Chains A and B, each alone.
Chain A
């Protein structure tokens, strides 16, 4: 065997090593992503590994149909694996919100990489079959294959995921794959037909992956992974906000602009407390308006009242309402409430919508983010509450989520003061939501009902007649102990209280 021949042989064996490493990495990435996004890591990992090994078998089987130009095929496959595997996690993150197709795409990617990797070993063995003794060949190829697998399984959890993150890990290995493909094409360009074409393709692929690698920070910023304790399973920037969903073994959480909106572990406490005190005080709630609350969780509670004929939900961000109606895992959380025929979703600015609204409602649920900036502060102003009052039937009830009376008593009672300033009667109450701490709500009505709280629907996980009563008492540390300003568009008193109180609280 000439020196050149032996060099070529070792080169091809290195390729085996790289392929083996990359192949396994793609499977690990797919498994990890699937357990992030779909939960239940045992099932995800075992099905993915199963599908992967099975498709490698398919690949090996198919290898017999390749009879000529083996080296060129080998390189082509190398490039293909690099492309599919390299882009896999970026692609999976992007398609995740399109729900139904997610699993199909996931397994398709696993299948394709499996088949391609499965093709490669037999092809390679056939390329080398006349150059090395068979027993040597088998021994070498499989040694390299298994060493590659070991390396992959070690560096993946220790180095790659913590330092590169999933998107960049798969891109990195995609680049390795394609790089090897390019080098082989370059090295053997005389031995294969269309060598030039292969080289150009390889370079284009490399360029695309490098660009993605550089911008993956933008796709999902590094800091985000650091800000959130759990795995970020979904994140997107809409013109209005940054939506991030994280997941751990026990719960899924939604963050808007970095602020926790709910955790599946205890959101029922929040949403039951938001909806039922007001609704159970109405004799026959029929027309309902929900402002904000694009997650559909409040609507889920509202639909427990059979008298309800129509729920109008107005949320600024179409990305939110679409996510919570179409993404299966999220729609399951709200019992597909946003798809209920009684529910109509409008993506509009609540202030403008209310200004143009002519309908009068029995109940209005106001579930806006906390008044942490001047823009949102407008939605807690006298001007807004005047519109709210106008949109209520004389005996209708509105309920407003009003931040934490423990952390921010001035803010909480400022909302109360502001509602009273426009001539509404109010009832303030609070409960404990572990993810948030003590949380506060205020009911407001033009004419108070003869009796607050009637029948609660069933089944509820948190509320019962006794807890309803308990929510009404405020201990001393949840009172304002001072005269508070009314929140108006031209003083934004609430935002100032809020900043002061939460600022102090978070400093600790």
Chain B
């Protein structure tokens, strides 16, 4: 070997070694796309089922094991109704509150927190007490919440103007005049939080059907949030971004589409108080609302039939015939029931009932936003300056909602390896197109999108990601566009059919929240109980 080539070789070695980390960027990041059984679900649309092979009899069938269905079933069980079946097409009950688990921690696949319950929601607070979330007795003037479930500090941070700031309301690097607009907006939200209508009811509250019907407020349901902001003269981009972030976060809907009334509801309906909490606090668990779903499920195991796709419901001889496709056995089965609660989204309900009028109405009035949720297992992340890593980590002007640290609620010392749950409501274009594009996108393409987004705040994200699993929610939630909250469409769709078939779903609540689902379930259960006891 000549001296020169030797030197080149040595130099080459050093160069190679300094390139090693960047070579890793090319590595394949493991993981898969999960998708909420879209394939099974589509059978409903595409398949002609043969006649059922078995027939069983039950007094009540609950279709759909999301929070609405589970809460209905739990109430029925508690009222002594035990001849019941709960059918869900997924392997696990929980619907949008699904969760997963790896060697590090549990993590959410969808819903991940609930705000402090409003104090008038007694049934809900009782449930929270049973779960151990509320630790004080029923007669305590104010509830006390378990410290392990109140979101630990530091709660939220926003990457804006080159730095992480505490909290999500933009203030770092925001000029004074614009900051004042933000303040004025937040002040107005406080005013709305306390406002009452002529009828004496709260202007904004949860469930939203308990809110005042005072036209002074319901008029806000005829314009979009963006229009309303402009009417108020609040045009600073920082505020626009913040409000748009919030409406996308809670409703998967852009602020220029969402009803102003529902947009305000996000800020003004939460007024829960407790001994050790404020209304802006949230309750969360590593597995998100999957933890609450777990508690709802506790007594219900015997009733569960999973991987059961309900295909059609007909009325025959004063009873309901509920036909479901048993995915494991690949056979159609029938249950004949006196009462049924249909706790599925409305676009599914229309098909199951083969009710053309309903299908048309749903098509005309309800739009579903698709979502992508990714769970990332990451190693040690490089951090930008400013506020330290928090539960909710949001990037200003990003298409995503940022990520939530699933490992945040662990009491142990923080480790370098964590689970991050990344949320991306696909609100860029028309839902149908976004849905199609989302289904076609490969794992590698998703990973690239996520890495490009998070790279701004964690420059080494490409090397630090160890695994990415992706969930596509094709019809994550219905959009609360103007008219949904105070128009008539929800009542029309929610009306029971022949006092035998009842509906419960957050689609019908007008906005997709755990509390709404919980009360959807309770009120449907009450209808069933009334019918059954009337007959006895």
- Is B281's CB within 8 Å of the partner chain A? yes
Given contacts A203-B1, A214-B17, A490-B147, contact A352 B10 (CB under 8 A): no
- Is B211's CB within 8 Å of the partner chain A? no
- Is B152's CB within 8 Å of the partner chain A? yes
Contact B10 A488 (CB under 8 A): no
- A407 → chain B closest CB, angstroms: 22
- Is A351's CB within 8 Å of the partner chain B? yes
For B2, the closest partner residue in chain A by CB is A186
The distance in angstroms between the C-alpha atoms of A355 and B281, with both chains bound, is 25
Can you list 26 A-B contacts (CB < 8 A)? Answer: A207-B9, A207-B10, A210-B10, A210-B13, A214-B17, A214-B18, A239-B416, A240-B413, A316-B413, A349-B411, A349-B412, A351-B411, A352-B411, A355-B411, A374-B152, A374-B388, A374-B414, A376-B413, A378-B411, A381-B147, A488-B147, A489-B147, A490-B152, A490-B153, A490-B277, A490-B281
- Is A373's CB within 8 Å of the partner chain B? yes
Interface residues of B in 449-485 (CB under 8 A from A): none
- B321 → chain A closest CB, angstroms: 51
The distance in angstroms between the C-alpha atoms of A492 and B154, with both chains bound, is 8
Given contacts A239-B416, A375-B413, contact A211 B13 (CB under 8 A): yes
Instruction: Determine the chain A residues whose CB is within 8 A of the CB of B276 once the complex forms.
Output: 488, 490
Instruction: From A207, A352, A374, A381, give the contact of B412 (CB < 8 A).
Output: A352
Instruction: From B9, B10, B17, B388, give the contact of A373 (CB < 8 A).
Output: B388
Contact B153 A492 (CB under 8 A): yes
The distance in angstroms between the C-alpha atoms of A376 and B414, with both chains bound, is 9
Instruction: Determine the chain B residues whose CB is within 8 A of the CB of A186 once the complex forms.
Output: 1
The distance in angstroms between the C-alpha atoms of A239 and B379, with both chains bound, is 11
Chain A residues within 8 Å of chain B by Cβ, number: 32
Instruction: Determine the chain A residues whose CB is within 8 A of the CB of B416 once the complex forms.
Output: 239
- Is B47's CB within 8 Å of the partner chain A? no
- Is A491's CB within 8 Å of the partner chain B? yes
Q: Interface on B for A, CB 8 Å cutoff?
A: 1, 6, 9-10, 13-14, 17-18, 147-148, 150-155, 276-277, 281, 388, 411-416
The distance in angstroms between the C-alpha atoms of A373 and B413, with both chains bound, is 10
Given contacts A210-B13, A214-B14, contact A491 B153 (CB under 8 A): yes
The distance in angstroms between the C-alpha atoms of A211 and B13, with both chains bound, is 8
- Is A55's CB within 8 Å of the partner chain B? no
The distance in angstroms between the C-alpha atoms of A489 and B9, with both chains bound, is 56
For B411, the closest partner residue in chain A by CB is A351
The distance in angstroms between the C-alpha atoms of A85 and B365, with both chains bound, is 80
Instruction: Determine the chain A residues whose CB is within 8 A of the CB of B411 once the complex forms.
Output: 349, 351-352, 355, 378, 383-384, 489
Main SS class of interface, A:
helix
The distance in angstroms between the C-alpha atoms of A381 and B411, with both chains bound, is 10
Instruction: Determine the chain A residues whose CB is within 8 A of the CB of B153 once the complex forms.
Output: 374, 488-492
- Is A252's CB within 8 Å of the partner chain B? no
Contact A382 B147 (CB under 8 A): yes
Contact A210 B14 (CB under 8 A): yes
Instruction: Determine the chain B residues whose CB is within 8 A of the CB of A215 once the complex forms.
Output: 17
Contact B13 A378 (CB under 8 A): no
Main SS class of interface, B:
loop
CB-CB nearest 7 A-B residue pairs: A492-B153, A375-B414, A349-B412, A351-B411, A490-B150, A383-B147, A489-B152
Q: Interface on A for B, CB 8 Å cutoff?
A: 182, 186, 199, 203, 206-207, 210-211, 214-215, 239-240, 316, 349, 351-352, 355, 373-376, 378-379, 381-384, 488-492
Given contacts A239-B415, A316-B413, A375-B414, contact A207 B147 (CB under 8 A): no
For A382, the closest partner residue in chain B by CB is B147
The distance in angstroms between the C-alpha atoms of A181 and B447, with both chains bound, is 50
The distance in angstroms between the C-alpha atoms of A4 and B14, with both chains bound, is 35
Instruction: Determine the chain B residues whose CB is within 8 A of the CB of A492 once the complex forms.
Output: 152-154
The distance in angstroms between the C-alpha atoms of A55 and B464, with both chains bound, is 50
The distance in angstroms between the C-alpha atoms of A402 and B187, with both chains bound, is 40
The distance in angstroms between the C-alpha atoms of A206 and B416, with both chains bound, is 35
Instruction: Determine the chain A residues whose CB is within 8 A of the CB of B14 once the complex forms.
Output: 210-211, 214
Contact B412 A199 (CB under 8 A): no
For B413, the closest partner residue in chain A by CB is A375
The distance in angstroms between the C-alpha atoms of A83 and B252, with both chains bound, is 63
Instruction: From A199, A240, A381, give the contact of B1 (CB < 8 A).
Output: A199
Instruction: Determine the chain B residues whose CB is within 8 A of the CB of A199 once the complex forms.
Output: 1
Instruction: Determine the chain A residues whose CB is within 8 A of the CB of B9 once the complex forms.
Output: 203, 207
- A28 → chain B closest CB, angstroms: 26
- B485 → chain A closest CB, angstroms: 32
For B152, the closest partner residue in chain A by CB is A489
The distance in angstroms between the C-alpha atoms of A375 and B148, with both chains bound, is 14
The distance in angstroms between the C-alpha atoms of A313 and B13, with both chains bound, is 47
Contact B412 A489 (CB under 8 A): no
Given contacts A374-B154, A492-B153, contact A349 B413 (CB under 8 A): yes
For A240, the closest partner residue in chain B by CB is B413
The distance in angstroms between the C-alpha atoms of A384 and B17, with both chains bound, is 46
Contact B147 A206 (CB under 8 A): no
Q: Which of B6, B13, B412 has the most CB of A within 10 A?
A: B412
The distance in angstroms between the C-alpha atoms of A186 and B2, with both chains bound, is 9
For B408, the closest partner residue in chain A by CB is A374
Instruction: Determine the chain B residues whose CB is within 8 A of the CB of A379 once the complex forms.
Output: 413
The distance in angstroms between the C-alpha atoms of A239 and B412, with both chains bound, is 14
